[in-house]
Copies of this chain bind each other. A is one copy, B any other.
Amino acid sequence: MLTYDLSERKGGPIYKFLYQKIKEEIIEGKIKPGERLPSKRALAEQMKVGVITVANAYDLLISEGYVRSEEKRGYFVQDLGSICINGGEPAAFKDELTEHKYLADFRANRMSLHMFPSTVWNRYMREALSLQADSLLETVPYKGLYKLRLAISEYLLQNRGIQVSPSQIIIGAGTEYLYSRLIQLFGRTCTFASEDPGYKKFEAISRGYGNPWEYIPIDDHGLIIDKLEQSDADVIHVSPSNHFPTGIIMPITRRKALLDWANKVKKRYIIEDDYDSEFRYSGQLILPMYAMDSNNKVIYMNTFSKTLVPSIRISYMVLPPALMERYEETMSFYSCTVSSFEQYALAKFISEKHFERHINHMRNYYKKQRKRILSSLKKVPLSEISDVYERGAGTHFLLKVHTRLTEEEIRRVAHEANLAVSLYSDYSDLVNAENQNTLVINYAAIQPERITEVLMRMSEIFPECRE
């Protein structure tokens, strides 16, 4: 297997020949579903061809859905039974099928794509494209289109109760991009910190810049301020209105203590990530900390990738005036990373209240979905060996499973059962008996009519449910 005679090749590039040969073996069943292909380097050496040639062949196989790539694990043959094989030319988007299609994907970054209000969105995009306005063709102002910043400031005032100037807002292609700008704004000696558990990408980005990093543990009321005081942190990243993944709302006293911490030292700042705050199903609106801050110590951030669709990369941050001045002086040479057409469409989408309506629509949908999944969960064997932790927010809950499986085994058997899961420990370095074997169940992308089937399948991966 996987040694091919290059002399059989009748012209054309080697990678196409290689791709064709492997594809034939997959279709004929000579290479079985789930089988692991040799590494690019190994096959290249064996065939005496370049690594790029093999990479090209594998890319094509992945793009057509014959093979899937798994991070740090290698290349695996897909189960063709579960994929519609097209005899002729690849269908329009088959060449984008680079990810394994799971029966159900509970991972934290998933969302319901069919909720995207594409008709309205497309209308504004068409409008932007047809305007032929020089302002949409010229280099976009580095903070982003004024129209969009104005729409965001009005939205924030009406829906999050905070008053910010459009001149304080910076638009960027995703939150990660804005974190990069912030890290650079604070400089390389600044120690960043985040809640544990929490958003791990900030750590990766921060370490990429070589900045020192700390994690601060949380308790039932969120970030433990004493631990923060004991740390070297200069800038702390928090989600006080909806902590990820626990859903904890930081109470007012602790918010005040956090602001006090920041006010004590000039270089201290708080990054308030308001991600997911739109999805809260019970109780009153939780105001952002930004609203309480009278000393310009809070940077407010949010993204549209979670509330619209992940492929639209638009996030924003609100800087206090002193930081914005520093930004203007040192970083205005960075061009805005978001296309002007999408900024225009989003500005209209927000200012004509479609965004608000969409959020309400999503909130209702997710609320129902949450109810459905929690009630279905009670009826499957899994409920007997697990406890739900949830606080009526976000698109997920925590499920602590009492099992003799290790976390590694859970990941493996879930994957074998064609379920994509994430665990509390994916977001925490402080794993203990209490939070071990705790699944983060994001139900946003689960099809409602399949909930019971999927939860039954989930039950089956645990030996305790089968006994």
Instruction: Show the binding face of A for B, using Cβ within 8 Å.
Output: 15, 51-52, 55-56, 58-59, 63, 71, 92-93, 95-99, 109, 113, 116, 118, 121-122, 125-126, 129-141, 145-147, 150, 164-168, 173-174, 176-177, 180, 184, 188, 201, 204-205, 208-210, 309-313, 321, 330-342
B98 touches A59 (CB 8 A): no
Given contacts A95-B146, A313-B335, could you give 17 more A-B pairs where the C-beta distance is less than 8 Å? A15-B165, A51-B321, A52-B321, A55-B167, A59-B165, A63-B146, A93-B135, A96-B145, A98-B146, A109-B139, A140-B310, A140-B313, A173-B337, A174-B337, A208-B330, A312-B339, A313-B338
B137 touches A96 (CB 8 A): no
Contact of A176 (CB < 8 Å), options: B147, B201, B334, B339: B334
Please indicate the chain B residues that have their CB under 8 angstroms from the CB of A341 in the complex. Answer: 125, 311-312, 342
Given A92-B131, A129-B122, A311-B137: A56 and B338 within 8 A (CB)?
A: no
Contact of A166 (CB < 8 Å), options: B56, B136, B201: B56
Please indicate the chain B residues that have their CB under 8 angstroms from the CB of A339 in the complex. Answer: 311-313, 338-339, 342
A311 touches B332 (CB 8 A): no
Please indicate the chain B residues that have their CB under 8 angstroms from the CB of A145 in the complex. Answer: 96
B109 touches A118 (CB 8 A): no
Give, as a whole number of angstroms, the nearest-CB distance from A350 to chain B.
15
Give, as a whole number of angstroms, the nearest-CB distance from A388 to chain B.
27
Give, as a whole number of angstroms, the nearest-CB distance from A47 to chain B.
16
A59 touches B166 (CB 8 A): yes
Please indicate the chain B residues that have their CB under 8 angstroms from the CB of A177 in the complex. Answer: 173, 177, 337
A335 to B303, CA, bound (A): 13
Give, as a whole number of angstroms, the nearest-CB distance from A235 to chain B.
17
B210 touches A335 (CB 8 A): no
Give, as a whole number of angstroms, the nearest-CB distance from A119 to chain B.
10
Please indicate the chain B residues that have their CB under 8 angstroms from the CB of A165 in the complex. Answer: 15, 52, 55-56, 59
Given A137-B116, A168-B52, A204-B333: A95 and B313 within 8 A (CB)?
A: no
